[in-house]
């Protein structure tokens, strides 16, 4: 079934499948000592800067856990928004793996600001209190909103002033960069970010993510943390070869830009209905909106999507690299029929 449920539900891009098939020829040394991994690491440096160091992991939660373990001690705390993926959608894995409490901050749009973070920056040196250790932000946020480079830089300046690290969860970093028309480096390295969880699964890859270390002082223990986090793949070439495709010839950009464009088209058409209320500014490939419940129920007969807040009939629609104009038209046709039945 075609859907607008999540960009996790889309298939694998044909170019990625082709690359995987190419990597499947013959034998290769395991655990990263293969030519595809070496090429991927070269491309990561080209993308994020020559001082960066990267390692490939199996999934997004694993990437976040590894990054947070590298930036904290068990007596630290992690600061994030109240919609953060590490708080809401990772089953407590970051807390279990780091031993650190998570201090969340309510946000209207999923975005932290220096003023918000400042509220949590206290208790330094007090042995009775967890010591603030890292600021975690998502780019894009879980609400589809985007931090500008200036906003990230301001957070980094504040965090570093107090001795904290900045961790960016970049599961949809490509969509943010495409929306802002800037490079991946412009949203990370150039903003003073210390460490990045970099995703591609939501943008055409089959599996695998990477941790990109931008602060050299965090490199020393990275490989050991990956192993202890159960994120070291033996046949790593199958993860790495996907990134050799992803980071070449603006492949990541074209996929993300297309997903954003389909969401923009869907937003434009949905905006014509007075019964539709958008709850977040549409900036990337995700739309958050409120519809009459009977209309939602009718749509769910043919389409799969998630409630974001069922209590107020808020849903989320997500476009993917393989969303087509025909998908958008078909959804809108069913929406029109649902509204006709609703008004009868």
Q: Which CATH number fits domain 14-246: 3.40.50.300, 3.40.50.720, 3.40.50.1110, 3.40.640.10?
A: 3.40.640.10
**pLDDT confidence tier of residue 344, bands split at 50, 70 and 90:** low
Residue 307 and residue 217: Cα distance in Å, rounded?
Answer: 42
Query: What is the pLDDT, as a whole number, of residue 174?
Result: 98
**pLDDT confidence tier of residue 2, bands split at 50, 70 and 90:** confident
* φ, ψ (nearest 5 deg) of residue 152: -65, -40
- Over the stretch 220-242, which tens digit does the pLDDT of each residue have? 999 999 999 999 999 999 999 99
pTM greater than 0.85 (yes/no) = yes
| Tokens 């001690």, located at residue | 73
Average pLDDT over residues 52-80: 97
Could you confirm whether domain 251-343 is CATH 3.90.1150.10?
yes
Contact 103, 158 (CB under 8 A): no
Contacts within 8 Å (CB) and 24+ apart, 303-307? 303/1, 303/2, 303/3, 303/4, 303/331, 303/334, 304/1, 304/3, 304/4, 304/5, 304/9, 305/3, 305/4, 305/5, 306/5, 306/6
Contact 44, 192 (CB under 8 A): no
Instruction: Please report, for the chain, the start and end positions of each structural domain, with discontinuous segments joined by +.
Output: 14-246, 251-343
């Amino acid at each position: 079934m075609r859907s607008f449920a999540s960009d996790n539900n889309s298939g694998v891009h044909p170019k990625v499948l082709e690359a995987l098939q190419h990597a499947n020829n013959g034998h290769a040394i395991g655990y990263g000592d293969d030519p595809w991994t070496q090429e991927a690491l070269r491309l990561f440096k080209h993308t994020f800067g020559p001082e960066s160091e990267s390692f490939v992991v199996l999934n997004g939660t694993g990437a976040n856990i590894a990054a947070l373990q590298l930036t904290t001690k068990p007596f630290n705390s992690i600061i994030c928004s109240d919609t953060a993926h590490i708080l809401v959608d990772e089953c407590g894995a970051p807390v279990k793996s780091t031993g650190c409490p998570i201090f969340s901050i309510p946000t209207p749009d999923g975005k932290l600001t220096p003023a918000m973070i400042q509220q949590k920056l206290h208790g330094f040196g007090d042995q009775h209190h967890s010591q603030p250790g890292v600021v975690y932000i998502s780019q894009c946020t879980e609400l589809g909103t985007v931090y500008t480079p200036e906003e990230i830089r301001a957070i980094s300046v504040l965090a570093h002033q107090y001795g904290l690290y900045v961790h960016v969860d970049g599961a949809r970093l490509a969509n943010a960069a495409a929306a802002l028309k800037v490079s991946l480096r412009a949203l990370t390295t150039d903003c003073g970010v210390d460490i990045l969880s970099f995703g591609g699964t939501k943008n055409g890859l089959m599996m695998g993510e990477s941790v990109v270390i931008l602060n050299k002082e965090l490199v020393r223990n990275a490989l050991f943390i990956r192993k202890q986090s159960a994120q070291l793949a033996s046949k790593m070439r199958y993860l790495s070869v996907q990134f050799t495709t992803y980071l070449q010839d603006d492949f990541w950009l074209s996929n993300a830009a297309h997903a954003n464009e389909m969401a923009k088209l869907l937003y434009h058409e949905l905006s014509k209905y007075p019964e539709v209320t958008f709850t977040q500014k549409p900036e990337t490939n995700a739309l958050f909106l409120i519809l009459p419940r009977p209309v939602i129920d009718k749509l769910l007969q043919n389409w799969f999507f998630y409630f974001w807040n069922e209590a107020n009939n808020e849903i989320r629609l997500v476009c993917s690299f393989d969303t087509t104009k025909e998908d958008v038209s078909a959804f809108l046709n069913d929406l029109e029929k649902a509204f006709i039945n609703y008004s009868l």
